[in-house]
Chain A
């Protein structure tokens, strides 16, 4: 099913959806754009936010359960995630979700991840405005979304083309049909034109591929990169596929068991109890990060561990060029 929504009707659609579930969308906060709960703020599809909406599926910090002493025994309380519609997720991030699904779906099956995943409706936005650091097309992760979405938006001059990709998506389009208009053939032409243009922009950038990056990994100067690295962990915190976490219990005798994001860039991540560290230097840890994306994840899931969203480039405190794997000189 495919419909057309005039630009001025978008708030009305979101308001109606908002009555049933929490709508998450890229909104303006100050001069920035970030994914947050939509409560009527202006939507901004211009920029791809620095923090991927995958944080709504795998939060930075999540309560697994509360433990409470009760009549001499412990009782455990779990929190049910709210149903969400995530609007404006771009194809790169949807591809990241596909990788996360594989990782968390492998035994032992991660119940908590899938509880959030199942309660989220993904309304993806075809990418017509790649950021300067994007290279999704080189890794087959964008700019156009083919499958895996519930709804697919494409921004046109006067409105949005909305396609359904699942039964939930189709239900939504049917339920709010009064807001939509019929799709004209010029709209479809405009969609194709916008996507080709985005592809052109992306393809004009240095030609990258998995094989090329793998080649660069063999010759990269990890030591120099490690010497420059300021150990901020930013690359792991913005990566939509990075998913490592730590578990800690906070509170005695009552408290919470938390799952918090972790970072393999930190030395404590791989350090053993006795102090031995198989990845002692920052350079070795950066190398591991790359090999995870381009070798280990592909071996384990059949999917690439990088979707070319480019966020690790702009977030790097040491301005490392992540495409050429070179430190600035």
Chain B
């Protein structure tokens, strides 16, 4: 038995683990005790991360749609079809009728090549990935406020905080390793404040649990800051020396009294005051947030509101302080870093500023027309402007909002090519399906939520004819006439380092077993665990006043409930991996809807009863899970399940700044099937 040290494939924590290999197969997983962050611990998904790799459903051969079925073809044939189709579409409708959705599950090297394929090969900036639906507001919001849209401190820094404010993050289930450090802080005496419409596990352990209505965050966070300012708990020296724009924020939040916030958000004014004073009085405060903040039409404003709070109290740049956007995929940070975003080249270099540099580096002319974001591409497919799409390791049919609209958009494409490890609801719609290597079958790097660039190591060979994505993308780039012949991921990383200042010192030899936190500008630099400790990249951090706006959909008599969506501890994203892991699927085998117990009583719904959940976009049959842990008037549906895809219900409305959808708020109603029978 061989044991191969690598990085976990699930959430953004980036835990170190061993894959146990015998006779070319994965027979087990164990944590790496010396890993600097996970320290010999894993969550349940991590312990079972090897299970899906050898599942018989794995895609093994390239396939091409022939009428209503898929036919197995050779790699050469598949590549030549793809090349021909790309050419045809580009010649007929222009390069911007093509788009690429890269994979947050792929390596940095693969994302870099995919972005290069889009810009240098296909000549379009239409390249995006799933960050658009998770932390696009963080990239935009913190990019504006601090000059860097990433987590400011390493995860372990949380253990040294005096107060931790957790907003819109079910940390114990979605980022269990982060939760372990929060529990450690609590054991050390830290106070815990959780803001979430659901009584998630950490809310149960918290000193204070605030329950804002989904979509009301700016109101209560502004009031939170207002109390801190009124009580003189701001860090004036920090504000004067290191920031700009505080006066405007002070002015704008002054109208947000806790009472006003209560009327908008439902957060008890007394609790809000108490929480603000606890936060304002403490030495070192950390703010942890996730999708509950970002997946709103006010997502970027929500992020800025939290940034304002951090800046006003001077909680940036030191151990135990900071802002912790928790990223959902193991390499969604890296995918952003690699420029799988329409407006940025690798390392957040703006297309408008760095085009010349990349034209030289890649030896070809690059497009200057602005690219489309993920949902803009879907809209363009709807209206016929986007005709060809390459989707890698992503399942938009299940993960994007408004499933029926997404399916329709994908069906309208002339050409859809999907690369994945399993058949998915999206490969079903594809014209060409290519089989990929899983994380256990390739070399490369992932960048975790704490900006730690770490190695991924191949433990077994891909099944059948499946190939590592980088090989396939490399081939495609070459076929499109761009010189691209990398011998392997290490060489790709050398190129990334040469054109990406924040990755300048990243080198496989240096990553070793601990990885390096970017920014790491050169080979003599040890990396930067804590950002902004002396200065911000934009010199002075920026305050920006943000005002509360209503969510896109408000409840009314027809749709009286707020529907919010999310994940379960035991499943990941669209379930392609976890639903093929027997212990995980056994834990949560069926989709469900959480309903407040008083609401359920009023509606005459029993626990476990099959009910109909409806929004303006669609309906689902779901088992009712009745609980006091969710606020009245709110229902929760996890989005992992193909048999009841939650996104049939959700809402496409975009945040104007970051183009994220408001996945967390939809107006909904519930019916009992038996009521239909009587009403005929």
Q: Which of B18, B27, B51, B56 contacts A34 (CB 8 A)?
A: B18
Chain A residues 235-279 with CB under 8 Å of chain B are 237, 246, 248, 250-252, 255, 260, 262-263, 266-268, 275
| Residues of chain B with a CB closer than 8 A to A268's CB | 583, 586-587, 589
A119 sits at the interface (CB 8 A): no
A314 to B38, CA, bound (A): 11
Contact A50 B183, CB 8 Å, known A233-B47, A267-B587: no
B673 sits at the interface (CB 8 A): no
A31 to B40, CA, bound (A): 12
Q: Report whether A248 and B30 are in contact in the complex, using a CB–CB cutoff of 8 Å.
A: no
* Interface locus among A159-167, A187-195, A224-232: A224-232
Q: Report whether A231 and B34 are in contact in the complex, using a CB–CB cutoff of 8 Å.
A: no
A15 sits at the interface (CB 8 A): no
A319 to B28, CA, bound (A): 24
- A153 CB, nearest partner CB in chain B, Å: 21
| Residues of chain B with a CB closer than 8 A to A328's CB | 183-184, 186-187
Q: Report whether B5 and A29 are in contact in the complex, using a CB–CB cutoff of 8 Å.
A: yes
| Residues of chain B with a CB closer than 8 A to A35's CB | 1
B263 sits at the interface (CB 8 A): no
Chain A residues 17-74 with CB under 8 Å of chain B are 24, 29-32, 34-37, 50-51, 55-56, 59-62
Q: Which of B1, B29, B42, B176 contacts A56 (CB 8 A)?
A: B1
B277 sits at the interface (CB 8 A): no
A329 sits at the interface (CB 8 A): yes
A11 sits at the interface (CB 8 A): no
Q: Report whether B1 and A231 are in contact in the complex, using a CB–CB cutoff of 8 Å.
A: no
A246 to B585, CA, bound (A): 13
Q: Report whether B180 and A317 are in contact in the complex, using a CB–CB cutoff of 8 Å.
A: yes
A-B CB pair tally, cutoff 8 Å: 125
Q: Which of B31, B43, B184 contacts A319 (CB 8 A)?
A: B184
A34 to B31, CA, bound (A): 10
Chain B residues 49-65 with CB under 8 Å of chain A are 50-51, 55-56
Q: Which of A36, A228, A232, A246 contacts B44 (CB 8 A)?
A: A232
Contact A227 B205, CB 8 Å, known A30-B513, A55-B28, A267-B587: yes
A316 sits at the interface (CB 8 A): yes
Q: Report whether A62 and B27 are in contact in the complex, using a CB–CB cutoff of 8 Å.
A: yes
| Residues of chain A with a CB closer than 8 A to B204's CB | 227
| Residues of chain A with a CB closer than 8 A to B40's CB | 50, 314-315
Q: Which of B28, B31, B187 contacts A60 (CB 8 A)?
A: B28
A252 to B57, CA, bound (A): 10
A318 sits at the interface (CB 8 A): yes
Interface size, chain B (Cβ < 8 Å): 48
Q: Report whether B587 and A51 are in contact in the complex, using a CB–CB cutoff of 8 Å.
A: no
A298 sits at the interface (CB 8 A): no
| Residues of chain A with a CB closer than 8 A to B22's CB | 59
Q: Report whether B2 and A231 are in contact in the complex, using a CB–CB cutoff of 8 Å.
A: no
Q: Which of B2, B3, B176, B608 contacts A317 (CB 8 A)?
A: B176
Q: Report whether B569 and A231 are in contact in the complex, using a CB–CB cutoff of 8 Å.
A: yes
- A277 CB, nearest partner CB in chain B, Å: 12
B411 sits at the interface (CB 8 A): no
Interface size, chain A (Cβ < 8 Å): 46
A237 to B33, CA, bound (A): 14
Q: Report whether A30 and B5 are in contact in the complex, using a CB–CB cutoff of 8 Å.
A: yes
A234 sits at the interface (CB 8 A): yes
Residue of B nearest to A314 (CB): B40
Q: Which of A30, A227, A237 contacts B47 (CB 8 A)?
A: A237
| Residues of chain A with a CB closer than 8 A to B186's CB | 328
- B677 CB, nearest partner CB in chain A, Å: 25
Q: Report whether A61 and B43 are in contact in the complex, using a CB–CB cutoff of 8 Å.
A: no
A60 to B30, CA, bound (A): 10
Q: Report whether A319 and B187 are in contact in the complex, using a CB–CB cutoff of 8 Å.
A: yes
Residue of B nearest to A39 (CB): B2
Contact A234 B5, CB 8 Å, known A61-B27, A266-B583, A317-B180: no
Q: Report whether A260 and B180 are in contact in the complex, using a CB–CB cutoff of 8 Å.
A: no
Chain A residues 291-329 with CB under 8 Å of chain B are 314-319, 328-329
Q: Report whether A234 and B47 are in contact in the complex, using a CB–CB cutoff of 8 Å.
A: yes
Q: Report whether B41 and A232 are in contact in the complex, using a CB–CB cutoff of 8 Å.
A: yes
- B156 CB, nearest partner CB in chain A, Å: 13
B582 sits at the interface (CB 8 A): yes
Residue of A nearest to B514 (CB): A31
Contact A60 B587, CB 8 Å, known A29-B5, A50-B31, A317-B180: no
- B519 CB, nearest partner CB in chain A, Å: 25
Q: Report whether B583 and A262 are in contact in the complex, using a CB–CB cutoff of 8 Å.
A: yes
B20 sits at the interface (CB 8 A): yes
A50 to B33, CA, bound (A): 7
**What per-residue 1/0 map shows which CB atoms of B158-180 lie under 8 Å from chain A?**
00000000000000100011011
B539 sits at the interface (CB 8 A): no
A328 to B188, CA, bound (A): 9
- A239 CB, nearest partner CB in chain B, Å: 13
Q: Report whether B28 and A318 are in contact in the complex, using a CB–CB cutoff of 8 Å.
A: no
B201 sits at the interface (CB 8 A): yes
| Residues of chain A with a CB closer than 8 A to B2's CB | 36-37
| Residues of chain A with a CB closer than 8 A to B587's CB | 266-268
**What per-residue 1/0 map shows which CB atoms of B568-579 lie under 8 Å from chain A?**
010000000000
Chain B residues 127-175 with CB under 8 Å of chain A are 172
A317 to B45, CA, bound (A): 13
A60 to B42, CA, bound (A): 16
Q: Report whether B30 and A260 are in contact in the complex, using a CB–CB cutoff of 8 Å.
A: no
Q: Report whether A24 and B1 are in contact in the complex, using a CB–CB cutoff of 8 Å.
A: yes
B310 sits at the interface (CB 8 A): no
Q: Report whether A228 and B183 are in contact in the complex, using a CB–CB cutoff of 8 Å.
A: yes
A158 to B184, CA, bound (A): 42
Q: Report whether B1 and A37 are in contact in the complex, using a CB–CB cutoff of 8 Å.
A: yes
Q: Report whether A317 and B47 are in contact in the complex, using a CB–CB cutoff of 8 Å.
A: no
Q: Report whether B3 and A29 are in contact in the complex, using a CB–CB cutoff of 8 Å.
A: yes
Residue of B nearest to A311 (CB): B40
A56 to B2, CA, bound (A): 12
Contact A60 B29, CB 8 Å, known A237-B47, A250-B55: yes
B32 sits at the interface (CB 8 A): yes
Contact A314 B3, CB 8 Å, known A234-B41, A319-B183: no
| Residues of chain B with a CB closer than 8 A to A29's CB | 3, 5, 18
| Residues of chain B with a CB closer than 8 A to A260's CB | 51, 582-583
Q: Report whether B51 and A61 are in contact in the complex, using a CB–CB cutoff of 8 Å.
A: yes
Q: Report whether B56 and A251 are in contact in the complex, using a CB–CB cutoff of 8 Å.
A: yes
Most chain B CB inside 10 Å of its own CB: which residue of A228, A230, A234, A329: A230
Q: Which of A31, A62, A230, A246 contacts B172 (CB 8 A)?
A: A230
Residue of A nearest to B180 (CB): A317
A277 to B267, CA, bound (A): 35
| Residues of chain B with a CB closer than 8 A to A55's CB | 20, 28
Contact A232 B30, CB 8 Å, known A36-B1, A50-B40, A268-B583: no
A126 to B225, CA, bound (A): 61
| Residues of chain B with a CB closer than 8 A to A233's CB | 44, 47
| Residues of chain A with a CB closer than 8 A to B41's CB | 232, 234, 315-317
| Residues of chain A with a CB closer than 8 A to B1's CB | 24, 35-37, 56
Given contacts A32-B18, A34-B3, A246-B582, 5 further A-B contacts (CB under 8 A): A30-B5, A31-B34, A55-B28, A61-B51, A266-B44
Considering the complex of A and B, which 8 residue pairs feature the smallest CB-CB distances, nearest first? Answer: A60-B28, A328-B187, A31-B34, A30-B513, A268-B586, A251-B56, A51-B30, A268-B587
Interface residues in chain B, defined as those with a beta carbon under 8 Å from any beta carbon in chain A? 1-3, 5, 18, 20, 22, 26-34, 40-44, 46-47, 50-51, 55-56, 172, 176-177, 179-180, 183-184, 186-187, 201, 204-205, 512-513, 569, 582-583, 586-587, 589, 608
What are 27 A-B pairs with beta-carbon distances under 8 A?
Answer: A29-B3, A30-B34, A31-B32, A32-B33, A34-B3, A50-B30, A56-B1, A60-B20, A60-B27, A61-B26, A61-B27, A62-B27, A230-B179, A230-B183, A232-B44, A237-B30, A246-B583, A246-B586, A248-B582, A251-B56, A262-B583, A314-B33, A315-B41, A317-B43, A317-B179, A328-B183, A329-B187
Interface residues in chain A, defined as those with a beta carbon under 8 Å from any beta carbon in chain B? 24, 29-32, 34-37, 50-51, 55-56, 59-62, 227-228, 230-234, 237, 246, 248, 250-252, 255, 260, 262-263, 266-268, 275, 314-319, 328-329
